């Protein structure tokens, strides 16, 4: 027994010598009391631990500052919690993002502002520089691929902090970055709200801060520049998928007309996604991609694309757009610190595109990133000279930790010299890039031919001469159409090698445009120079857009949220983005007009002009007419191409209870209209040319309107309604789409002018008619007098209701309104007795023509039906003449 106890004792001693863990003492009988030395007082053990834990440690003979075990060889510190992050390998460490208690972020450290103030630079009083001066300002120098020393327009420590903070996040996984950024930015949860993406919210933010100078521009007196019958024209540059545009079209709906150019990649990832617009009206936006129009590539760095886009926009917008927006950017992953250098040509071309399409007095907003280099600041300086005033801002909806900011420009002054100078700068940049690519391809090909006899690849590419060389991506080569000059064989060989464009730093072609305005000129304008410096760092505490300091502040905040995952979140409630539901056309029709089927069936009969009905027209000046060229329909748009038309009942009247798709195999209509549009229109066959060369196409001729894009015009005067229809047609017109169905507005004439209008009828030789001529009316609307159609009759409507009649003043020879009930008269239109859309529809008269040729060749027309009750041309004109001479004048 004693030997067994000795063996157990030896094993315990051995265990105690090697123990370095938690420390558990096992007592086996009273024989081992000699191991129970005096225990320390547990109250002397430091640390914020419970008494139970301290007693356990004291029982194990724990001494503060020493490890457990017979020789104090155990751990002195507690085992730390795992700091493993994400899916990194075990043992991976990131010194910037190790979780620790020292990195804290207090909500009290940040002031969340919801009110922003626009800060403008003072207006430049200098005259615009001439072309000779501008050409002398362009500077060609060695291409730079670093920004570390660009401290001319900020404090050096600001630049240093920005670059260090950017470098810090190269080691952070993208998912962790997004999560931390989302929790760190109180405005992140706004996202796109009801719009396609966050870009729309940024544009809404900018528009609000700058008092709607984009969607509702005003003059110096505060008057709106865009009148009720005017269209707000805008351009969207490098802004696919179209968040900026969706906001503008949501704000102004179809009253705004946009033109867009953006890069079209093979997968259309950066193209405008008009079908995803749920808030705006994509029907009034027209993409145009430069050369080849809708089939172009949209590359704004190509001069020919810029010129083609500018020409198209100016010809389609009555001389230029009211404002332009640019939101270009591309991935700079791994090269974040030189994002400004990589984006310099994009800056230039966006600026150039804007001033090429703006009208005088127009406004511009463009996204920028860092503005530390003389090239970028030189561009801003020239805009400072050619706009009435400019402003730099970082809106609250822009993520605070990135370099993004916006330049806002108001009041463009036509500056042809500056525009042409920008073209020459862009051409020079492309020329230098092409020369660099040529040498790069030749360099690579020469290497391939010599590598078999001059050592291994590793030896060649590890030489110090090429160690820090710059590399261009394959996409940069493929994007330049001028690469065809390099030769198909060389280019093919080059693109097959990952090392294609390794460029020697000492190359004579490693050049670039480094300045567009000399640095001393920029420094010489104190107001501008100080404004830019203040925009990059906090020199003047009253300047609210100190972007550099704010960016460092935000980057460090993201670092804190990345280290500690449980910082407080901010939630900003927003309306959900819901899909557009397409209702039935029948339900929409009755909902818009707030009426019932029975009501419409009672008053939906066409009144034909006969010898009995013509006597109703006692007040000739109260009537107007249009020349009909086809069957009439109600046309209703539910959204985009979801357009329907009424069918007809057995009596030939429109049946509003049954609707058919407007486009079918019979009429081949290709048309888009905003939702909740209800018009009365004809489908007319239009002709161009005569004989065998004649061509024809179906067109929509608007006769009257009730709703346009949800706007109610039913109670406007018919002349005013058709003016809005003309504006509507102009906004929807897309010249770039040759297959689009022409949409026109019928010409409205006074009935007393009928003899003059009918005298304009002409005879045209129709294709396939064996030489027979048809009577035609030339000019379907005010904008096109090259087409014509075959008339089928006249629609006559009454625009003023009883007891008012329109007369002509003998004294002033102008129209006035006479009230037959109280014998009062006035020159102003009596608004309460205007014939509404429905009244014009119900009181309309139709004078059908059987053979309109007789209106040209003789004084008598062949009229449909029983000749005894029909009205001939002479009879109608005589009736009008007699009625006017009988006292209605």
Residue 760, SS3 per DSSP: coil
Q: Of 54, 202, 798, 870, which residue is the catalytic one?
A: 202
Closest CA to 248 of 299, 213, 288, 300: 213
Bridge partners (DSSP) of residue 636 are: 644, 678
Alpha-carbon distance 354 to 361, whole Å?
A: 13
Is 202 catalytic? The answer is yes
**Pairing status of strand 256-261 against strand 285-287:** parallel
DSSP per residue, 824-887: EEESS--GGGB--HHHHHHT-EEEE-SBTTHHHHSS--B-SS-TTT---HHHHHHHHHHHIIII
Residue 282, SS3 per DSSP: helix
Q: What is the largest CA-CA distance in the chain?
A: 149
Alpha-carbon distance 489 to 485, whole Å?
A: 11
Is 367 catalytic? The answer is yes
Alpha-carbon distance 65 to 154, whole Å?
A: 51
Q: Of 327, 483, 512, 525, which residue is the catalytic one?
A: 327
Question: Under a CB-based contact definition with an 8 Å cutoff, are residues 189 and 572 in contact?
Answer: yes
Do you know the residue count of the chain?
889
Reported as half-sphere exposure (CB side, CA atoms, 13 A), residue 72 has a value of 8
- Beta carbons within 8 Å of 254's beta carbon, 6+ residues apart: 281, 283, 284, 674, 708, 709, 728, 731, 732
Task: Supply the DSSP symbol for 782.
Answer: S
R_g (Cα) of the chain, nearest Å: 39
Look up residue 788 and give its two tokens. Answer: 């014509």
Bridge partners (DSSP) of residue 256 are: 232
Between helices 156-168 and 547-563, what is the axis angle to 10°? 30
**Pairing status of strand 773-778 against strand 762-765:** antiparallel
CB atoms within 10 A of CB 766: 18
Q: Of 257, 344, 367, 798, which residue is the catalytic one?
A: 367
CB-based burial label for 558 (10 Å; 0-12, 13-18, 19+):
buried
Alpha-carbon distance 631 to 795, whole Å?
A: 11
Q: Please list the alpha-helical segments (H only) found in 451-487.
A: 457-461, 474-478
Phi, psi of 449 (to 5 degrees): -75, -25
293: left (phi over 0), alpha (psi -120 to 50) or beta: left
| Catalytic (active-site) positions | 202, 327, 367
């Amino acid at each position: 027994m004693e030997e067994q106890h000795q063996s157990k004792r030896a094993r315990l001693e051995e265990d105690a010598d090697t123990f370095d863990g938690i420390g558990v003492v096992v007592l086996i009988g009273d024989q081992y009391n000699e191991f129970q030395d005096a225990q320390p007082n547990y109250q002397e053990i430091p640390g914020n631990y419970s008494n139970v834990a301290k007693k356990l440690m004291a029982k194990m003979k724990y001494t503060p500052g020493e490890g457990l075990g017979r020789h104090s060889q155990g751990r002195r510190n507690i085992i730390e919690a795992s700091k493993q992050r994400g899916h990194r390998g075990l043992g991976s460490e990131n010194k910037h993002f190790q979780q620790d208690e020292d990195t804290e972020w207090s909500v009290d450290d940040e002031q969340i502002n919801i009110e922003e103030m626009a800060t403008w630079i003072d207006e430049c009083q200098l005259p615009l520089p001439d072309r000779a001066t501008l050409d002398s300002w362009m500077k060609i120098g060695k291409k730079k691929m670093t920004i570390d020393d660009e401290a001319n327009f900020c404090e050096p420590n600001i630049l240093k902090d920005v670059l260090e903070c950017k470098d810090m996040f190269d080691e952070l996984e993208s998912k962790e970055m997004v999560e931390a950024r989302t929790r760190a930015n109180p405005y992140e949860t706004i996202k796109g709200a009801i719009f396609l993406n966050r870009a729309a919210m940024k544009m809404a933010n900018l528009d609000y801060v700058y008092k709607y100078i984009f969607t509702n521009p005003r003059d110096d007196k505060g008057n709106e520049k865009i009148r009720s019958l005017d269209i707000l024209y805008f351009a969207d540059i490098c802004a696919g998928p179209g968040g900026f545009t969706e906001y503008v079209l949501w704000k102004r709906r179809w009253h705004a007309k946009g033109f867009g150019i953006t890069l079209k990649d093979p997968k259309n990832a950066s193209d405008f996604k008009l079908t995803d617009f749920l808030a705006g009206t994509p029907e009034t936006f027209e993409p145009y991609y430069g050369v080849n129009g809708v089939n172009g590539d949209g590359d704004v760095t190509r001069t020919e694309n810029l010129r083609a886009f500018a020409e198209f926009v100016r010809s389609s917008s009555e001389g230029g757009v009211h404002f332009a927006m640019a939101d270009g950017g591309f991935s700079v992953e791994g090269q974040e610190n030189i994002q400004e250098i990589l984006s310099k040509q994009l800056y230039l071309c966006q600026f150039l595109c804007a001033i090429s399409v703006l009208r005088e007095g127009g406004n511009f907003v463009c996204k920028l990133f860092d503005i530390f280099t003389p090239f970028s600041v030189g561009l801003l300086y020239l805009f400072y000279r050619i706009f009435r005033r400019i402003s730099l801002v970082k809106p609250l909806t822009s993520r605070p930790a990135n370099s993004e900011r916006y330049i806002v420009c108001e009041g463009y002054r036509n500056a042809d010299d500056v525009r042409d100078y920008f073209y020459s700068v862009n051409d020079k940049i492309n020329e230098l890039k092409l020369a660099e690519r040529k040498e790069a391809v030749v360099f690579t090909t020469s290497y391939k031919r010599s590598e078999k006899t001059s050592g291994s690849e590793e030896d060649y590419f590890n030489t110090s001469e090429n160690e820090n060389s710059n590399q261009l991506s394959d996409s940069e080569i493929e994007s330049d159409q001028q690469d065809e000059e390099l030769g198909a064989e060389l280019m093919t060989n080059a693109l097959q090698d990952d090392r294609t464009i390794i460029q020697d730093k000492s190359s004579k072609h490693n050049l670039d445009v480094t300045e567009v305005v000399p640095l001393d000129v920029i420094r010489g304008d104190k107001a501008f120079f100080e404004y830019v410096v203040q925009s990059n760092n906090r020199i003047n505490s009253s300047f609210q857009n100190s972007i550099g300091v704010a960016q460092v502040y935000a980057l460090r905040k993201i670092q804190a949220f990345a280290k500690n995952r449980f910082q407080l979140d901010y939630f900003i409630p927003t309306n959900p983005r819901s899909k557009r539901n397409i209702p039935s056309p029948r339900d929409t029709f009755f909902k818009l007009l707030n009426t019932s089927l029975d009501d419409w069936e009672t008053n939906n009969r066409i009144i034909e002009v006969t010898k009995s009905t013509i006597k109703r027209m006692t007040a000739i000046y109260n009537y107007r007419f249009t020349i009909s060229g086809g069957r009439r329909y109600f046309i209703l748009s539910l959204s985009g191409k979801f357009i329907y038309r009424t069918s007809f009942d057995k009596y030939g009247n429109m049946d509003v209870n049954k609707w058919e798709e407007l486009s079918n195999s019979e009429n081949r209509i290709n048309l888009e209209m905003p939702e909740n549009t209800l018009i009365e229109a004809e489908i007319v066959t239009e002709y161009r040319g005569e004989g065998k060369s004649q061509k024809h196409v179906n067109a929509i001729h608007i006769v009257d309107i009730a709703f346009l894009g949800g706007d109610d015009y039913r109670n406007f005067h018919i002349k005013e309604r058709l003016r809005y229809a003309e504006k509507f047609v102009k906004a929807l017109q897309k010249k770039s789409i040759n297959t689009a169905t022409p949409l026109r507005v019928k010409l409205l004439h006074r009935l007393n002018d009928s003899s003059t209008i009918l005298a304009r009828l002409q005879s045209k030789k129709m294709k396939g008619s064996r030489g027979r001529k048809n009577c035609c009316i030339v000019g379907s609307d005010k904008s096109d007098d090259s087409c014509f159609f075959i008339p089928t009759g006249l629609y006559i409507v009454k625009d003023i209701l009883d007891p008012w009649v329109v007369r002509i003043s003998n004294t002033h020879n102008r129209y006035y309104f006479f009230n037959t009930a109280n014998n009062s008269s006035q020159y102003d239109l009596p608004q309460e007795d205007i014939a509404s859309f429905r009244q014009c529809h119900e009181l309309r008269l139709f004078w059908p023509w059987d053979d309109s040729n007789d209106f040209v060749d003789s004084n008598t027309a062949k009229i449909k039906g029983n000749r005894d009750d029909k009205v001939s041309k002479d009879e109608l004109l005589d009736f009008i003449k007699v009625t006017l001479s009988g006292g209605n004048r």
